[in-house]
Amino acid sequence: MHRVVTIDGPAGAGKSTVARLLAGRLGWRFLDTGAMYRVVTLAALRAGTDLEDPDALDRLAAGLDAAFPPGRVLLAGEDVSQAVRDVAVTRATRFIADCAAVRGRLVAWQRAVADRDDVVTEGRDQGTIVFPDAFRKFFVTASDLERARRRHEELRAKGADSDLEAVLADQRARDARDASRAIAPMRPAADAETIDTTGMTIDEVVALLHRKVLPSP
């Protein structure tokens, strides 16, 4: 396995953006694990698959034609990079995350990437479950309000009708589900360093992590 930097944390902490930019600075591959869960969710929604039927979800995932070229998500050759970010997909992704069989398949996908390249990967279980022996591990977080504000601004920038209080309520419910689920709950790895990004810019966070991954001599 090549070198792996894991960036775990709750929704809205900025881990996807930070991981993508950090990978660029390091010249490593960015592994967007969230996109993997989202593309399975999108395929399930399109197929009308029962999201509470783990066997049906596993069959769907087993036959899925998905690819993840840099910065893109393809489903049967179709670019669904934007479609997987739809609110309906976001809300339904928890069913995929809670399906042990599908999660096992996606973990195998993720490890296969790290067998080929040095990677920066983000998610909620990367340092605890997927890559327990990672080169560096970080748990990136921020205050509840800061994370909700970021998501609110992101949605408004996309033209969505977004209410900050509703975003905050959804986020807290998601945090509770992620932290309490039986399969791969969200928590910092014992050897991860927690980075609180409240009040920090993305560039500041990336620069900080870059120094920690490759300290100056």
Q: Are residues 72 and 107 in the same domain?
A: yes
pLDDT computed for residue 162 by the predictor: 86
- How many Cα atoms sit within 13 Å of 44 on the Cβ side? 32
User: For 102-115, what is the mean pLDDT?
Assistant: 94
Q: Among 116, 143, 167, where does a domain finish? A: 116
Whether residue 215 lies inside any domain: the answer is no
Q: Does the structure show a pLDDT above 90 at 179?
A: no
- Of 70, 91, 116, which one is at a domain's C-terminal end? 116
- 156 shares a domain with 57: no
- Please check the confidence at residue 216 and state whether its pLDDT lies above 80: no
* Domain final position from 96, 116, 136: 116
Q: Is residue 72 a part of any domain in this protein?
A: yes
Residue 159 is predicted with a pLDDT of 83
Domain limits at 96? 35-116
- C-alpha span between 140 and 6 (Å, rounded): 10
Instruction: Report residue 145's pLDDT band, with 50, 70 and 90 as the boundaries.
Output: very high
- Mean pLDDT in residue range 59-88: 94
Q: How confident is the model at residue 117 (pLDDT cuts 50, 70, 90)?
A: very high
Residues 53, 63 within the same domain: yes
Q: Quick count: other Cβ atoms within 10 Å of Cβ 161?
A: 7
Same-domain check for residues 95 and 127: no
Q: Same structural domain for residues 5 and 75?
A: no
Q: Does residue 60 share a domain with residue 18?
A: no
Report whether pLDDT(54) > 90: yes
pLDDT band at 178 (very low <50, low <70, confident <90, very high): confident
Are 121 and 196 in a shared domain?
yes
Q: Cα 158 vs. chain centroid, distance in angstroms?
A: 20
d(CA 186, CA 46) in angstroms, rounded, equals 28
Q: Does 108 share its domain with 168?
A: no
Into how many domains does the chain fold? 2
Any domain includes 41: yes
β-bridge pairing 74-75 and 78-79? antiparallel
For residue 79, being part of any structural domain is answered with: yes
Same domain, 127 and 205: yes
| 130 lies in some domain | yes
> Given a cut of 70, is residue 1 above it in pLDDT?
no
- Inside any domain, residue 217: no
Residues with Cβ < 8 Å from 113, sequence gap 6 or more?
29, 31, 119
Among the listed ranges 18-22, 81-85, 112-116, 158-162, which one has the minimum average pLDDT value? 158-162
Give the pLDDT of residue 144.
92
The answer as to whether 148 is a domain residue is: yes
| 9 and 20 share one domain | yes
- 106 & 122 share domain: no
pTM strictly above 0.75:
yes
For the chain, state the CA radius of gyration: 17
Same domain? For 56 and 112 the reply is: yes
- Phi and psi based region of residue 123 (left: phi greater than 0; alpha: psi -120 to 50; beta: remaining): left
Assign residue 138 the CATH number of its domain. 3.40.50.300
